[in-house]
Amino acid sequence: MIRGTKWLVAALVAGAPSLALAVDPLLHDLPAPEPPPAVASPPAPVPESEDDLADLEVSEIRDLGPKPPSAEPPGDLWQRIRSGFAIADFDSSLVVQQQKFYAQRPEQIQRIVDRSRRYLFHIVEELERRRLPTELALLPMVESAYNPMAYSRAHASGLWQFIPSTGRNYNLGQNWWYDARRDVVASTSAALDYLQSLHDMFGDWHLALAAYNMGENGVQRAIDRNRAKKRAADYASLPMPKETRRYVPTLQALKNIVANPAAFGVELDPIPDAPYFVIVTLTRDIDLGLAATLAEMPVEELVALNPGHNRPVVAAAHAPQLVLPNDRAEAFLQNLERHEAPLSSWHTYTFKAGDKLEKLAAEHGVSVERLKAINGLAPKGNIVVGQQLLLPQKGTAAASEPLPPVFSSPARFAAYAVRQGDTWAKIAAAFGVRVDDLRRWNDGAELLAGESLVIQLTPKRTVRKPAKGPASSARRPSAASPSPRLAAPATVVRPSP
């Protein structure tokens, strides 16, 4: 903790924490991280006077995980996972096929394991806290190959592959700034909530897993049909799509390999049974590139831990949490304290009548192609009056520094600022969406001039030329503009000693 500044410090442990069925080819394969060295947390300074106490504001201290003795090295997380296996084994020829498939591709297993070591400890902690079978920690291997950027043809996203509607049902918000389906902490909580509810519904883990893949209504209909014909209603007996038929066998194959890797000629590198990451809650916007610099780490690794951000800036008003490796938090805090320049080099701008992307790009020293990539616009995509853009501040490195690949992919959402005279129907027509969908995406929003709406896009959707009408010249307060250094920029969520 740093003295002399009014930091709000909340200390808690946030544990780190199939082949992908279909992964968007535009999304990059995340690099394998180096295991974090064991770093002892420095002791908190002891205030020497009442003046010191005034500068040391501690808001909350919570512990979300066990505190292993610091003198003992962490154990192997794989052994902890094996000891929590609790789902009945499933035997079939499909299990044997999947075991052979993975055993013949050890390099593929290694890539999945390398990606998983960022997130696996957090997931295991959550499973044990809920008293759920630890086999479920292997489910993202089936769903996404542990790639949080995985995106399927059905528009499922993240480690746990939530489709948009199910994500919203489980409080995974999706907007222009952020997609919580890719947030490792939020999506893990949602996935385990969903799996628990499915198990409560069917009373059987194999059926719950089938429902996770094909939907609870599909599984229930299959059960009802079999019972009407006086047939068995277990997983092996139900009619189901080919993908679902292989779903439980694939998980079982991975479980068997993890249980006894040597039997399949597979080597599983140890994963430390210790938290991989901590969470910092921001009170002001910060560029992801700057955050990586302050944390003294590659920006690609920072993005791998914060995959939910759709823009190259962390907007504190929309998604204030920043995940950092356990051993990088102290450097981040110290460097942030010394940093006097603005934390963000971006600002939001509302596109007005008469604006041209080419002119805006030239004024901000950036190419049109880069401007479109920053804002998730397809190369031939259009823009409407009232749509919001993220623009680099003139003369900053934001106009030219390389973007991580995640920010070069087409966006799933557009941001739109309501103008005088707008109606739900007019806005829906401009973006080629249904009024009912537009209302649902913006539940509770009012059509007031300047109000920001979210429009969900598909890769093939383009917008129509907007109808003529009065343009709003008001520029909304920037969610990504640099702010004066008036308050502490972050509440840090720190590891327990």
Question: So which residues are the catalytic ones?
Answer: 143
Q: Whole-angstrom Cα distance, residue 256 to residue 251?
A: 9
**How many residues are given for the chain?**
497
Long-range contacts of 68-71 (CB under 8 A, 24+ apart): 68/273, 68/274, 70/40, 70/497
How far apart, in whole angstroms, are the C-alpha atoms of residue 74 and residue 232? 46
How many CA atoms lie within 13 Å of 468's alpha carbon, on the beta-carbon side? 0
Other C-beta atoms closer than 10 Å to the C-beta of 71 total 5
HSE (side-chain half, CA atoms, 13 Å) at 256: 23
For residue 122, which amino acid is it?
H
SS3 at position 142: helix
Which residues, other chains included, contact 484 with Cβ-Cβ below 8 Å and sequence gap of 6+? none
The tokens of 364 are what?
A: 């901000």
What would the 3-class secondary structure string for 453-480 be?
Answer: EEEECCCCCCCCCCCCCCCCCCCCCCCC
Which tokens hold the place of 328? Answer: 């990088």
**Beta strand segments in 40-173, E:** 56-61
DSSP letter at 261 equals G
- Pairwise CA distance, residues 10 & 62, whole Å: 8
